[in-house]
Structure 1
Amino acid sequence: MTTAADITAPSVQTDPTAHPVYREFARFTEEVLAPRAVEIDRTEVPRSHIDGLREIGYHRLFVPEQYGGVKLPPRVVNAINNLLFGADPSTATIVTQHGAPVLPAVTAGTDDALELLPKLASGELIGGAGMGHVRSWPKRRGTIATRVPGGYRIDGVIGWHSGWGLTDVIWLGAVDEQREEFVFGIGFLDDPAISGRILPLTAVYGSRTAELRLDGYFLPDALVTEVVAVQEYRRRDGTRAQELQRAKHLNPDVDEADLAAIPTAGPYGLARAALDDALRISGDDDHLIALSAELETAAATPLPDPHWRAALNELAVRATTAAVVAAGGAALLDSDIAQVRARAAQFLQVRGLAPSVRAAHFAAYSR
């Protein structure tokens, strides 16, 4: 990978795709990911995709420099992740969650947690997440944390973890029902107390998204990253606070206002790739041009949490549907990328679906 720590690119603020590291990922995406994206959507992301991204330094983008990571302008990292979503949604679903255990490990600050970071930076360990299910408690009991000497025993089901069979460590969540607290920590997926079952998703099936069962998994105190009252967690759930904190850890010198002006990766990437295809097919149709301009305006116009994300997710649905219309009946063939993107846009509607996010989606749909 091109060394990025000392690279300065004056145009990055206006065009992050001009950055040499972005161009390296664009080459890899064009040569390796995009040609197999439709096939991967129906089968599974191969380890060779993860290895290829490791070789060009993708995993370093999530880890602070002092632990072996690389400091890039946040807009460049965001552009890279959007590129991946537009080209190969299943692979993007897995790899963009690699950083999930990183900030928790940094904030935990224990020797056991911090020693994971260089391995996450190098890609020796692949990270993932499995904590969103806790927000359904007490209506649905997912994973239960029971205090035991030296840590917690975790039992139950994590309903959603992408990358099963490729990921090594997981930022997981569970509920201490006695104390009404959420317990978060970093677990090892090769532990025999954890088993998985791939879910038959109709979108991003290739992402190896699985239901995990934990039977007496021991989470030691050294890898507990946070214990928080349920009501306190719910107060902040659905905001971008943790996402912005993670970016600040990666690049302490970055301006916080600039960070807040960068939308969550995913919807823009899907929409942009879909509209670019639609415009090529339809010869610069005026309505498609207007939709493209609406996307660019929306991506550059921050809204209060979580309405910005909901607005962009809704635009991703419209943009990917427009690409299906542009391609006509051929877009419904399982060999066409348009239907892959359209289904992936539906997946974004349920990603990280906190109650406030759900309400923001409903508001966006009812315009």
Structure 2
Amino acid sequence: MTLAPSHAVDGGPAAARRIADDLFASAAEVDSAGRLTRARLDRLADAGLYGVSLQGDFADLGDVVAALAGGCLASTFIWLQHLGTAPAVAASTTPGMADRVPALRSGALRAGVALSGLRNGPMQVSVEPVEGGFRVDGTVGWLTGWGLIDVVQLAGRGPDGTAYFLLVDAVPDPAVEVRPLDLLAIQASSTVSVTFRGLFVPEDRLIRTEPVDTWAAADARGSALNGFLALGVAQRCARLLDDDWTAEIDQARDDLLAAADQPDLVPAARARSAALAWLAAGSLMAATGGRAALAGGHPQRLAREAALLLTFGTRPAIRAELTDRLHP
């Protein structure tokens, strides 16, 4: 796990687990309120977690994601969206872009990410080079942290099919329509859909361009990382059950680690972790009994989070694997 030099995390995943336990103490309250504050995310920034790089040790990074997801999934969603932006900006050849890296790595400047517009489908985002910059049109169906982030790493397709990555300010604009999403869980994450209608982005906000196929190949690693969100929920449920789920959790973790470098293994690994979270949350509900159905408690919140993670960031192959795994 790579960290900004001035923001070292003492103990890596172990420290993340301690922070996660602090977040967990108020996670039910945050969930009930349906919102969290920027100050809550300061806890992660103060620990150096905004300086974590996706290019570091994948096992350590996965363990940090799992630990935090088991503490407060809403906070983890917002933080996780940030991680790919700092290294992308650092590698940019656009003059002045790298000046933003220290603020991104410290968490003084916080980023969201909107890359789904590169995928084929009705919500594809187009980027057209124009004089002095770029015109952006299209809809991003899922953007986490609106109102809690400062910038967005936005991706779209150019006229020739090239992928454009832009750093866009997360502020109100007449060319930007923001629609809050009413989610089953993590409502506190301030997740929205965003429609761009002729948004002008100055040319100095270009992070990079690359072939879409190159991006798609690298995207598989991030898809494997998303599996650690479900693993973290499963781990927290196991702790609350005070039961030994070590073998199942270790197998799911091993599968995700293997999938990080072997894209063909991603669907099965993601399905295993999501199904495990669903089973662990169901077991916690059953073991708790009638109290689990009451709003404001941890079991029902974790069950809703596990249900959400059955759908988050899935592709047809992952959904097919999940359906097979969950079929009696």
Instruction: Please classify the TM superposition score into its range, dividing by the shorter chain length.
Output: 0.7 to 0.9
Q: CA RMSD in A?
A: 3.1
From 240, 251, 270, give the equivalent of 1:297. 251
From 61, 68, 78, give the equivalent of 1:84. 68
In structure 1, the residue matched to 2:25 is 35
With over 3 angstroms needed to count, the CA separation of the structure-2 counterparts of 1:134 and 1:323, relative to structure 1, is: same
From 115, 127, 134, give the equivalent of 1:145. 127
With over 3 angstroms needed to count, the CA separation of the structure-2 counterparts of 1:106 and 1:356, relative to structure 1, is: farther
- Secondary structure, in 3 states, of the residue corresponding to 1:153? strand
1:142 Cα deviation from its structure 2 partner? 4.2
From 198, 219, 223, give the equivalent of 1:216. 198
1:21 Cα deviation from its structure 2 partner? 4.3
1:57 aligns with 2:48: yes
With over 3 angstroms needed to count, the CA separation of the structure-2 counterparts of 1:350 and 1:109, relative to structure 1, is: farther
1:133 Cα deviation from its structure 2 partner? 4.0
- Secondary structure, in 3 states, of the residue corresponding to 1:158? strand
Indicate conservation of the 8 Å contact 1:101/1:169, yes or no: no
From 31, 36, 55, give the equivalent of 1:45. 36
With over 3 angstroms needed to count, the CA separation of the structure-2 counterparts of 1:235 and 1:114, relative to structure 1, is: closer
Q: Matched residues in 2 for 1:141 and 1:75: separation?
A: 33
1:202 Cα deviation from its structure 2 partner? 1.3
1:234 Cα deviation from its structure 2 partner? 8.3
- Secondary structure, in 3 states, of the residue corresponding to 2:52? helix
With over 3 angstroms needed to count, the CA separation of the structure-2 counterparts of 1:28 and 1:294, relative to structure 1, is: closer
With over 3 angstroms needed to count, the CA separation of the structure-2 counterparts of 1:141 and 1:312, relative to structure 1, is: closer
Indicate conservation of the 8 Å contact 2:104/2:111, yes or no: yes
Q: Matched residues in 2 for 1:155 and 1:130: separation?
A: 13
- Secondary structure, in 3 states, of the residue corresponding to 1:265? helix
- Secondary structure, in 3 states, of the residue corresponding to 1:322? helix
From 172, 187, 191, give the equivalent of 2:168. 187
Q: Matched residues in 1 for 2:295 and 2:36: separation?
A: 17
1:113 Cα deviation from its structure 2 partner? 2.5
With over 3 angstroms needed to count, the CA separation of the structure-2 counterparts of 1:361 and 1:266, relative to structure 1, is: same
Indicate conservation of the 8 Å contact 2:123/2:141, yes or no: no
With over 3 angstroms needed to count, the CA separation of the structure-2 counterparts of 1:112 and 1:363, relative to structure 1, is: farther
Q: Which deviates more from structure 2 when the two are superposed, residues 350-359 or residues 47-56?
A: 350-359
With over 3 angstroms needed to count, the CA separation of the structure-2 counterparts of 1:141 and 1:91, relative to structure 1, is: closer
1:116 Cα deviation from its structure 2 partner? 1.7
1:323 Cα deviation from its structure 2 partner? 1.1
Q: Which digits, 9 at most, give the CA deviation of each residue in 1:324-360, with x for residues without a partner?
A: 1111121121121111111112222232233443344
Indicate conservation of the 8 Å contact 1:237/1:354, yes or no: no
Indicate conservation of the 8 Å contact 1:238/1:306, yes or no: no
Structure 1 gaps, min length 5? 7-16, 65-70, 245-261
Amino acid at match of 2:234: A
In structure 2, the residue matched to 1:311 is 272
Runs of 4+ in 1 over 6 A off after TM superposition: 3-6
1:205 Cα deviation from its structure 2 partner? 0.8
From 135, 155, 180, give the equivalent of 1:198. 180
Q: Which deviates more from structure 2 when the two are superposed, residues 79-88 or residues 351-360?
A: 351-360
1:102 Cα deviation from its structure 2 partner? 2.3
From 260, 276, 283, give the equivalent of 1:322. 283
1:295 Cα deviation from its structure 2 partner? 2.1
1:116 aligns with 2:79: no
Q: Which digits, 9 at most, give the CA deviation of each residue in 1:252-291, with x for residues without a partner?
A: xxxxxxxxxx884212111011111123xxxx4xxxx4x5
Amino acid at match of 1:273: R
Amino acid at match of 1:51: D
With over 3 angstroms needed to count, the CA separation of the structure-2 counterparts of 1:172 and 1:364, relative to structure 1, is: farther
Structure 2 gaps, min length 5? 260-264
In structure 2, the residue matched to 1:249 is none
Indicate conservation of the 8 Å contact 2:227/2:274, yes or no: no
Q: Matched residues in 1 for 2:219 and 2:272: separation?
A: 14
1:206 Cα deviation from its structure 2 partner? 0.9
TM-score, structure 2 as length reference: 0.84
Q: Matched residues in 2 for 1:269 and 1:165: separation?
A: 26
Q: How does 1:243-322 map to 2 (within 5 A)?
A: 264-279=227-242, 284=243, 289=244, 291-301=245-255, 302-303=258-259, 304-322=265-283
Q: Matched residues in 2 for 1:224 and 1:4: separation?
A: 23
Amino acid at match of 1:317: W
- Secondary structure, in 3 states, of the residue corresponding to 1:186? strand
Q: Matched residues in 2 for 1:274 and 1:329: separation?
A: 17
1:94 aligns with 2:78: yes
In structure 1, the residue matched to 2:153 is 171
Amino acid at match of 2:76: A
TM-score, structure 1 as length reference: 0.75
With over 3 angstroms needed to count, the CA separation of the structure-2 counterparts of 1:355 and 1:36, relative to structure 1, is: same
Q: Which digits, 9 at most, give the CA deviation of each residue in 1:46-95, with x for residues without a partner?
A: 1110122222222122388xxxxxx7x54343322211111111111111
Q: Matched residues in 1 for 2:231 and 2:52: separation?
A: 19
- Secondary structure, in 3 states, of the residue corresponding to 1:308? helix
